[in-house]
Amino acid sequence: MPQISNSSYTTPHEAYTLPNGLQVVILPDTRVPVVTHSIWYNVGAMDEQSGKTGLAHMTEHLMFKGTPTNPAGTMDKVVQRRGGTMNAFTSYDFTAYFQKVPTPALAEMMALEADRMNNLTLTEEDFQPERKVVAEERKLTTEADPSDRFFEKVLRQHFSKTTYGHPIIGWADDIQGYTKEDALAWYRTHYAPNNAALILVGDVNKALVADTISSTYGSLGKEAQVPPRALAIEPARKAPLEFMAIDPQVQVPVWHTLYRAPSSFTGVAGAKVQPGEAVALWVLAEILGGSDTARLHRALVLEQQLADDASASYDAVRAMESTFDVSVQPQADVALDKIMPAVQQVINQLIQEGVTAAELNKAKTSILADETYARDDSFTAMYRVGMWLTAGGTMATFDDWRRELASLTVADVNAVAKKYLTESGRTTAMLAGNAGQLGSLKPNL
C-alpha cells in the first residue's frame, strides 16, 4: 500500500511549449510498446452562449468529417490498420481527441491530428446529417431517461447564472437552430495550437519525438486569436433549493443533494480559492460516503436500513465552482421524505463532533492508493493531466495535492465541513415514480 509520506513525489514527465503556443506533455511508460496520443482543446460546453448550447459537442462530431488531404474515414482506417483504438469526448471544460496505437504509428497520428486542427472541411452535406445524429443521440440518452431529464432541469436551477447549468449535448431547440456557419466559427475561434495541449503517454520520450512534434504541430502557426475564457460567478444564495418530481417511468426513486463547493481553481460565489480546501473536501467525501464503511453507508444502509446505497463525492478539477454531492438510493418501501432527516443527522453529527484521526488516516491512504493505481493506466494518466491543464492548472502544480494531502489535519477537514455543508448552499433533488414514493412531499418541478 502506498505511504502518505511520499508527498514529494512528482509524476515523471517532460513538458514544454512550442513557439506557436501548443503545450506538450510527455509521460514516459516503457512497459509496453504502445503510446496514447491526445490533443486537448481548452474549450468545452462552459464556453458556449445561450442559444448555442451543444456546439462544442457538435464540433467534436464534425472533426471526423475529414480534410482535403485526409477525407472522412481516413483516420479511422489508419488507426484500425495499426491495431489501435480512438475516440473523442466533450465536457464542460474541454474537448479531447485520442488514439492509442503501437509506438511506431505515433508519427502518423500526429500528422492526422495536426491536419484536422487547421484544415477541417465542412459542407452542408456533412453538417445536416451529423446534426440529426446529435439530435437523435439526445433523444436516446437524455430525453429517454427520466433521471437525466430531471437532473438537466435541476442543474439549470443550481447553476442558474453560469454555463455549468447547460447540458453538454445542448438543449434540443439549440441543436435544431444552429448552422454550419456556427460550427465553423466555433472551430476557427477555438481550434488552434495556442489553445491546445498535446499529451503523450507511453513508450516515448522527448528525445525520440521532439523533431516530429516540431515538424507536424510546430509548423501550424498561431492560427487564432483565442478569446480569454470567461469564468462566470454564481451569486451567493440565502436559502436552500429543493426540487421534487414524479415521473411514471421511474423504477427506482432518486435522492441527491449538491452542496456548493470550491474547485481547485474557483471559489464559491467568486470567493478566493483557499489552499488545501479542495483536498480537504476530497477527504471529507471519502469519510462521509466513499466506501461501505463510510458514515453515510453505515448509518442509512446498515443501521437504519433506509437505503440500499448511500455515497458522497467531490470533483476538485473544474474551471469554475464545483459541487460536493451526496446520493442515496432508498429501499423499495422507504419514502423519499425520510431520507433528508437521516442524511442531515449524519452530517450534523460530523460537524458537531468532527472527524476522527483514524478516519482521516484511512481516507488519506485510500485516496493515495486509488490515485496511484489509477494513474498507472495510460488512458487515466492522460485524462488526469488533460483535465488539470484545461481547468486551469499546470504541470508544475499537478502533484501539489500529494503535499496537501500529507499535511492535512483533522481540523482542516472539520473546517471545510462546517463551511460548505450548509443549508443555504444546498440543492436537493428527489425523483419518484409515484406520489407514494415522495411521502409527504409535493412535486414542484
Among candidate residues 14, 48, 60, 359, the one labeled active-site is 60
Q: How far is CA 229 from the centre of its chain?
A: 17
Take residue 157 and report the three cell numbers written for it. Answer: 436551477
Distance CA 443, CA 247 (A): 10
**C-beta of residue 445 within 8 angstroms of C-beta of residue 306:** no
Take residue 427 and report the three cell numbers written for it. Answer: 440543492
Segments of 164-262 assigned E as strands: 196-202, 241-246, 254-261
Distance CA 17, CA 15 (A): 7
Distance CA 304, CA 297 (A): 10
Residue 209 CA: distances (Å) to CA of 198, 213, 370: 12, 6, 31
End-to-end CA gap in the chain: 47
CA dihedral 113, 114, 120, 121 (to 10 degrees): -90
Distance CA 361, CA 38 (A): 36
**C-beta of residue 228 within 8 angstroms of C-beta of residue 414:** no
Distance CA 436, CA 246 (A): 10
Take residue 362 and report the three cell numbers written for it. Answer: 484511512
**C-beta of residue 233 within 8 angstroms of C-beta of residue 421:** no
Take residue 118 and report the three cell numbers written for it. Answer: 487547421
- Catalytic residue status for 359: no
Distance CA 167, CA 191 (A): 21
Give the active site residues.
60
